[in-house]
Amino acid sequence: MLNIVKKTALEIGCEFYENELMSNRTSFKTGGPAELLVCPGNIDALIAVLKVCKENKIRTFIIGNGSNILVSDNGLSGVVVMLSSNFSEIKLLDEETVYCQSGASMTKLCRFALEHSLSGLEFAFGIPGTAGGAAYMNAGAYGGEMKDVLVKCEHIDEDLNVSSFSGDDLKLGYRKSVYSDLNFVITSLTLKLKKGDYAEIKKKMDENLSKRREKQPLEYPSAGSTFKRPEGYFAGALIQECGLKGACVGGAQVSEKHAGFIINKNNASTSDILKLIELVRDAVYKNTGVLLETEVKYFE
């Protein structure tokens, strides 16, 4: 069946890789081989790939740049569709409105805003991941979130129709959106920003990036914050209170720099990371009664 997808990819000039190690495609640097990884360069190519997968009942996984996922050590059977740097056009629609394809990195999007002296995305500078992923989970930091600037998302629905959600229909909440409960593929974002002062915007972005480098273990592979913030608490503080800072399973470790991060300290496997996540969740629940939810998505 995968030969049909490869044939389609060749016909439309779409990049693809066979038995691609997902450890090379995820920020955790773990994960076995994907049978076929396809990187569409435009929406027509994306629809063509999704169509042939649907028609032939081939398992399909949609990812961005792999910054918020864990992939099984056994790899993935089927097709991984990666929307990343080759699906990353950004342009101005008017003086304060930005159009961005979902595969653009948040860093690229923030730099585009800075270049055009547009304020509103300072909070997001340094957030790993793509714009599509940030919209999907309403990413936020330092007092800001995507909800503050996102006005519209275009997507491909399960019937392969192109449509969109705007405004309140996006249902943006803490680390969730309308897409959290839908099997849709986000293809682009429209953001409303505000004209500002280049120097002030740059200063704020630099300050936020400096805070990240100071407080977060960016020198190790990870997926950012491992757990969602429980209502009324901070996950990292709860984990630290339970004496789990520095706890290890195999090559995975609860960061000694920030307990909210699980890192790949020393050639960890996905299994190591999953076991450590469960150890942390169990210990925190046992000691505090708070059940931690992961931000990281697991694919197997």
- Which pairs from 214-220 meet CB under 8 Å and 24+ separation? 215/257, 215/258, 216/255, 216/257, 216/258, 216/261, 217/255, 217/256, 217/257, 217/258, 217/261, 217/263, 220/255, 220/263, 220/264, 220/265
Q: Is 177 among the catalytic positions?
A: no
Task: Count how many Cα atoms sit within 13 Å of the Cα of residue 42 in the half-sphere of its side chain.
Answer: 3
Catalytic pick from 27, 85, 175, 300? 175
Query: Active site residue: 188, 225, 255, 269, which one?
Result: 225
Four-CA torsion 231, 216, 176, 71, nearest 10 degrees:
-120
Beta-carbon count within 10 A of 63 CB: 26
Q: Provide the β-strand partners of residue 44.
A: none
Residue 269 among the catalytic residues: no
**E strand intervals along the chain:** 15-21, 33-39, 60-63, 69-71, 76-82, 90-94, 97-101, 118-119, 140-141, 144-145, 150-156, 162-166, 185-192, 194-195, 248-249, 252-254, 262-264, 297-299
| 213 counts as catalytic | no
Catalytic machinery residues: 175, 225, 295
